[in-house]
Chain A
Amino acid sequence: MARDTLLSVPDADIDIQVIPQTLLPTSMSYVIDYVVENCSADHGIAIQDDVVYTVILEVGPKVPDVQGLSRADAETDLDAAGLGKDPQPASASADWKVDGQDPPAGKLVSFGTTVRLDLVPPNPPSPKITTPAPPQGKPQVTVPPLIGLGPAAARRQLSEVGLVLRVDPDSPETGEISSQDPAAGSQVSEGATVTVSLQEAVTEAPNRGGGGGGGKTGPGKISTNDSGSSSPLVPTGLLGVVLVGVALALVLVARTLRARRTVPTSDPHQAQFQSPSQTKPYPQFPSQTQPQQVPSIHCDPQPDPAPRLEIHLTGSPSHGAAPSAPVPDIRVELFADPGRQELREVVS
């Protein structure tokens, strides 16, 4: 930017030199000092004709902020900025954290300037981190689908993947599994418990009617196989068939209604059998298929397209100090004057 600013001076013939001549492509450079040669006393404000002005820009980087970084990361940043590093203590391992730095972050320095890093041993994981992490130490397994299976079959399937079956105490002791928790497809740690709810098998209802073909018949009773007879017991058999049909129809209607109420569930198979009365009284592992309640964080870097540029003239070197540039050949010749003395008497 400094180069563009100088080149944009109207009617100026300016030759720009940058020190150091080779700049790191990964580091932003800023002007630290400048020297104008072949320039008039007004420092080039009033441009003269036929004079080529040479502006030597000394540039350097800003010290990066390495506070809190590990030693390895901090040294990487300093290398990228073209700066030296002085880790304290020097024997610190790469995972030690930077607790202080000198020069401070943002300070404009020359390339190669050594930055002191005050390192401290790494702290244990901060308790402030509240993001739930899955239990570590055990492999993760996928919960198999259990709905529709009997307890024995479910226990067998779970044992194959290293899980434990638990029957909800509020559900019937026998029957088919109507719901499971965690849901099928969830990732849980090996050895975790899968809780299921059972529902009595509806196929037992026809057997309880007893009037069907092959059913038990009482002694002396008229067999149902007596087709075409005009026995007075026929209406009773028909009534049993109708009752069984009605019962089946009610079960089907009830299942349909439950399925409709649980459609939003991610697992349609599970939703078909899930009952709202089946609560989850035990702590549940977070399902990996459910959306995480982690706030969305998005970082959009916005570099400053027009940083404020300041050029500071360095002070005059102190007497005896080594100049930073070759001193031109300046010679002076002294011509003393003994003076002209006059004596006047004071008239009293």
Chain B
Amino acid sequence: MTVHIETEPGTADLLLFADPRNAAVELSRVLDARRTLERVEDGAQRAGSVFRDALNGRVAEAGGELLRGIDLGAVLLGGWQRYRELALAARRSVEQPGSTEMVRLAGHTITSKHAPYVDVYVEGQHVARVDFGIDLEFDVVLLQASIRNGRLMSLRAGDCTASITWSVEGFPVAQNTARLTMPLQLRLGEGIPLGGADASRS
């Protein structure tokens, strides 16, 4: 069973744009203004407005899709799983079966850096790779977690502010900061395993 944390907004594109269709539109504008795809045209040995428009549209749609694929709840959960105190509490809960460990975390920041990319093929030939950058930062006021049998069973999070910066080939496309809302009490079902070996990473 996949555990999912519902947040509002739920994905990175919605954190940037109220209308998700504007992601591709804005990216297309930046691609055109920065001439980002000229090297792709050179690599494809193609030119002309028709080819340029088609290439721009496809890359913009792909970039928007990559943005839309970033789930903010999953990013938050990935950050919390790396918290050292949670890993230690999980080890203790395993050592004492049936016990519940409560971990309280005051103000903290979770950062997440994403580097998706798009490979472009023209007439079946790979001509270029377009790199994107998506930087997320969550400022969380409070977190209280319950761990049992080495699993993260529930979370109680306070206020959260999320910031995002979107770039293509090093050029900024858009950035935004917004309040992120989530349920006060996050029930995680059967729980999320917290690897004790991973506790040393953070």
Contacts and interface: CB of A to CB of B under 8 A. Distances in A.
Contacts of B174: none
B116 A336 contact: yes
B193 to A, nearest CB: 17
A47 to B, nearest CB: 13
A48 B82 CA distance: 54
A333 B119 contact: yes
Interface in B1-59: 28, 32, 35, 38-39, 41-42, 45-51, 53-59
Contacts of A323: 50, 53-54
Nearest to B133: A337
Contacts of B65: 334
Contact of B122 (A319, A325, A329, A340): A329
B108 A332 contact: no
Interface in A283-328: 313-314, 316-317, 319, 323-328
B47 A37 contact: yes
B118 A333 contact: yes
Contact of B121 (A39, A333, A336, A345): A333
A135 interface: no
A343 B78 CA distance: 9
Contacts of A335: 116-119
Given A328-B46, A339-B113, A345-B107, A334 B54 contact: no
B147 interface: no
A227 interface: no
B53 A40 contact: no
Given A336-B66, A339-B75, A36 B48 contact: yes
A334 B118 contact: yes
Contact of A36 (B47, B80, B108, B117): B47
Using C-beta atoms within 8 Å of the partner chain, give the interface range for chain A. 35 or more
Contacts of B113: 339-340
A235 interface: no
Contacts of A129: none
B42 to A, nearest CB: 6
Contact of B55 (A35, A330, A345): A330
B155 interface: no
Nearest to A340: B113
A38 interface: yes
Contacts of A330: 54-55, 58, 120-122
A344 interface: yes
B199 interface: no
B178 interface: no
A339 B135 CA distance: 9
B25 to A, nearest CB: 8
12 contacts: A37-B46, A41-B47, A316-B28, A326-B50, A330-B55, A333-B119, A337-B115, A339-B75, A343-B80, A344-B108, A344-B109, A346-B107
Given A36-B47, A338-B74, 5 more contacts: A317-B53, A331-B124, A332-B62, A342-B110, A342-B111
Ordered nearest first, which 9 A-B pairs have the shortest CB separation? A346-B107, A41-B38, A341-B79, A339-B114, A39-B47, A339-B112, A331-B121, A341-B78, A333-B119
